[in-house]
Structure 1
Amino acid sequence: MKADIKQKSILLFEEKGFSETSIQDIVQALGVTKGTFYYYFTSKEQLLMDIHLGYIDDLLERQEKIRQNQLTNCEKVMQLIALLITDIANHGPSGKVFFREMRHLCEENALEVKGKREKFRKNLEEIISDGMAQNEFRQGLEPDIIAFAILGVTNWSYQWFNPAGGISADRLADIYSDLILNGIV
């Protein structure tokens, strides 16, 4: 039931927003009582935090698997881009809630989530730095700025990317990888 509450809440938060979705809306959509909700979550904010941690912890775990693979740094960057785009394709509502609703977390919870987001970015920076050190990427790059750029391009896709539209997640990841690794010149 906890997973059902989370999943239904993600859909409602995506549709109506966190502030406009009440606990009553959630339990009514599931056909359960508020007591059922409070058995699993002490508050709507705790539910939102659970959604955020589930999302970022899953990304960090999958990122770590990519980092540990015996791949070139270029291949790791490409796989991370694909990870982020396919995640939007497969879990779009969760991504929207993750990026859009973090402002509703209390300061302590927001800091915890921001720390994990920063860890994801720092891991990407490390791959870029390693790629420079191993002459896979050109010298003179600013790994922190490149990591921000990659995350900006990929993460913003949750706003417009429609996996049922004219382009697949794999194709979009290939386009982004080509753009990021080769530029447009």
Structure 2
Amino acid sequence: MASDGPAGAAIAEAAGGDGAGPRGSILNAAMHLFGKQGFTGTSMRDIGNAVGVLPGSLYAHIDSKDALLVAIVADGIRRFLAAVEPHANGEGDPVARLRRMIVAHLEVVADNPERSLVVFHQWRFLGPDNLPGAVEQRREYERMFVKVVEEGVREGRLRADLNRRVVVLTMLGALNWTPEWFSPDGRLSPAEVGELMADTLLGGILADP
């Protein structure tokens, strides 16, 4: 998703940075607050308090609260697409590739659950210049899963009577909720949780041997 327009060059730099410096601190604070209390429930004063500066001083580093949301969502969507695309467009058994896609999704969530909360639940508050791009990228992500499911049906690995879109939306609905409950400090690793979810999500759609 492009970050030009209202986001401006400064926030584009922040989105691609390593989290260091004032912009990185502001982004991290916004990410935490947007995930915890929502975009509309977070004020610039809240963000300023979190980083220890007056709200007006934030504008030396960012353009607006909207620009922060653009940067967080754009960076998050990019990470999910990059993690899943090699498996979606790879070769080999489509069921095994779907399993790897599910695990890859969990690993991105585990890398930063707060970022994933914003990506999955706050993207709707993007402004009109940026919302269409986010919607299209979400559809692109969905299409990757549909593509592999359709390959599985054609190769006889998945049931022929499946409604492909319902299957994919069920998968993504379960996966997109994981930031609400997954703990990086838990007993199971992201890959182990991903494998367990793959067992559950794929078990009902596999073709009979």
TM-score category, normalised to shorter length: 0.7 to 0.9
By how many angstroms is 1:124 displaced?
Answer: 0.8
Query: Bigger shift: 16-25 or 56-65?
Result: 16-25
Quote the sequence identity (%): 25
Please name the residue that 1:99 is paired with: 120
CA contact (8 A) 2:83 2:108 kept: no
Equivalent residue for 1:12? Answer: 33
Shift of 1:134: 2.1
What SS class does the counterpart of residue 89 from structure 1 fall into? helix
How many angstroms does 1:33 deviate by?
Answer: 5.4
Match of residue 122 from structure 1 = 143
TM-score if structure 1 supplies the norm length? 0.87
Is the alpha carbon distance of 1:71 and 1:8 closer, same or farther for their aligned partners in structure 2, counting shifts above 3 Å? farther
Q: What is the Cα deviation at residue 52 of structure 1?
A: 0.7
Match among 110, 116, 122 for residue 131 of structure 2: 110
Gaps of 5+ in 1: none
Is 1:158 the counterpart of 2:182 in the alignment?
A: no
Are 1:66 and 2:87 an aligned pair? yes
Distance 1:147 1:40 in 2: 40
Question: What residue in structure 1 maps to residue 159 of structure 2?
Answer: 138
For 1:18 and 1:109, how far apart are their aligned partners in 2? Answer: 15
SS of structure 1 residue aligned to 2:177: helix
Residue 110 of structure 2 is matched in structure 1 by 89
Please list the CA deviations of residues 1-31 of structure 1 after superposition, one character each: whole Å capped at 9, or x if unmatched: 3232211210122233222322233233223
SS of the equivalent of 1:173 reads: helix
Q: TM-score, normalised by structure 2?
A: 0.78
Tell me the distance in 1 between the aligned counterparts of 2:172 and 2:188: 20
Candidates 2, 13, 21, aligned match of 2:42: 21
> How far does residue 34 in structure 1 lie from its aligned partner after superposition?
4.8
Bigger mean CA offset, 43-52 vs 130-139:
130-139
Q: Structure 2 vs 1, CA of residues 70 and 92 (structure 1 numbering), >3 Å: closer, same or farther?
A: same
Q: Is the 8 A contact 1:126 1:143 kept in 2?
A: no
- Report the CA distance between 1:166 and its aligned residue: 4.3
CA deviation map 1:20-73 (0-9, x unaligned): 322233233223455653244321011101111111112112222222433321
Is the 2:88–2:98 Cα contact (8 Å) retained in structure 1? Answer: no
Unaligned 5+ runs, structure 2 = 1-21
Q: Does 1:38 align with 2:62?
A: no
CA distance in 2 between counterparts of 1:20 and 1:27 reads 14
Higher helix share: 1
Distance 1:33 1:76 in 2: 49
CA distance in 2, matches of 1:163, 1:40: 31
Q: Secondary structure at the match of 1:64?
A: helix
Q: Distance in 1 between matches of 2:36 and 2:172?
A: 24
